[in-house]
Amino acid sequence: NAGVMQNPRHLVRRRGQEARLRCSPMKGHSHVYWYRQLPEEGLKFMVYLQKENIIDESGMPKERFSAEFPKEGPSILRIQQVVRGDSAAYFCASSPETESQPQHFGDGTRLSIL
Amino acid sequence: KNEVEQSPQNLTAQEGEFITINCSYSVGISALHWLQQHPGGGIVSLFMLSSGKKKHGRLIATINIQEKHSSLHITASHPRDSAVYICAVADYGGSQGNLIFGKGTKLSVKP
């Protein structure tokens, strides 16, 4: 039973390019969460999605960032026109349908902006 | 003031010692999580609790809702326990995924 799969593990982009981060939740999990960990800082919530729905995006920057979790395929976190400050580790987690279940985390994507 | 405070920030212990990491929070919560972040960066969920006490192997987590405080204990610590331990809370008024994280406690267990 594979865990939460994130790819790529490392992503390097130049300023102004687009970054796409992918997350495949654990089998049977329909809730996906994205978190960001800036260098030397703690984790911060970004967005919570269920299949085809954004439940809570209160942690997402208002511009350049978007997330989706389509009916088929992985969840995608998309960052347009990246800037140096976007350099961070981005973690995805998933949990089953029912609430009050712990989240399972992926190994993260380390995004570096040149 | 941060909504989730952990102490200590750094902790060095000798193998075999009993370890306690504390977490205090200032918001009403629906659940509290303890996470472990390995030196390589991966994150593992250790506990999710909303009351009382949970135990898994050498790890014990307790929570006191009235005092807004939780502790993570490690018995018979081992060098492989070296990691950053993170406390996170789900705000009662927020969604279940909208976790507020502490800054973490970096634990180093020496052989």
Segment A24-79, tens digit of pLDDT: 999 989 899 999 998 888 899 999 999 889 999 999 999 999 999 999 999 999 99
**pLDDT score, position B43:** 93
**pLDDT score, position B101:** 94
Q: Which of A17-21, A53-57, B46-50, B88-92 has the lowest mean pLDDT?
A: B88-92
Report how far residue A48's alpha carbon sits from residue B75's, in angstroms, rounded to the nearest whole number. 35
DSSP of A84-111, one letter per residue?
GGG-EEEEEEEE-SSSS---EE---EEE
> Does pLDDT of A4 surpass 70?
yes
Name chain A contacts of B97, Cβ cutoff 8 Å.
31, 33, 45, 48, 55-56, 93, 95, 103
Which positions 31-90 of A are in contact with B (Cβ < 8 Å)? 31, 33, 35, 41-45, 48, 55-56, 58-59, 89
Token pair recorded at residue A27: 């089998």
Indicate the pairing of strand A109-113 with strand A53-56.
unpaired
b/e B61-95 (16+ beta carbons within 10 angstroms → b): bbbeeeebebbbbbeebeeebbbbbbbbbbbeebb
**pLDDT score, position B92:** 75
Between B13 and A52, whose confidence is greater? B13
**pLDDT score, position B2:** 75
Average pLDDT (B16-34) is: 94
Name chain A contacts of B27, Cβ cutoff 8 Å.
none
